[in-house]
Amino acid sequence: MHVIVNGERTEIAATDLNGLLGELDYENTHVVIAVNYHVVPRARWGETELSSGDEIEIVTPRQGG
């Protein structure tokens, strides 16, 4: 299916957020995810199903000074 990840159209096989993170090599990283402009709590990633056309933002924290 096609989704938009961080502004780029992407073909994915995953059907939920946990699968997407594994597919995009984000496993075991600290991230925040929004699907269609709604932040999804980490506890719900496995149950959050993805649909073709979803807009997904994956944000990684940065430290600066």
Report yes or no on 65 lying in a domain: no
The pLDDT of 22-31, averaged and rounded, is 91
- CATH number, domain of 19, equals 3.10.20.30
The pLDDT of 29-54, averaged and rounded, is 96
Domain of 18 in residue numbering reads as 2-59
Confidence of residue 65 (pLDDT cuts 50, 70, 90): low
Total domains in the chain come to 1
Structure tokens at 54: 């979803």
Per-residue model confidence (pLDDT) at position 53: 98
The pLDDT of 38-65, averaged and rounded, is 93
Please list the helix, strand and coil fractions of the chain in percent, rounded to the nearest 5, in that order: 20, 35, 45
Q: What does the DSSP 8-state code read for residue 7?
A: T
Distance CA(3)–CA(53), nearest Å, equals: 5
Q: pTM of whole model > 0.75?
A: yes
Report yes or no on 47 lying in a domain: yes
Q: How many CB atoms lie within 10 A of CB 35?
A: 19
Closest CA to 17 of 39, 43, 46: 46
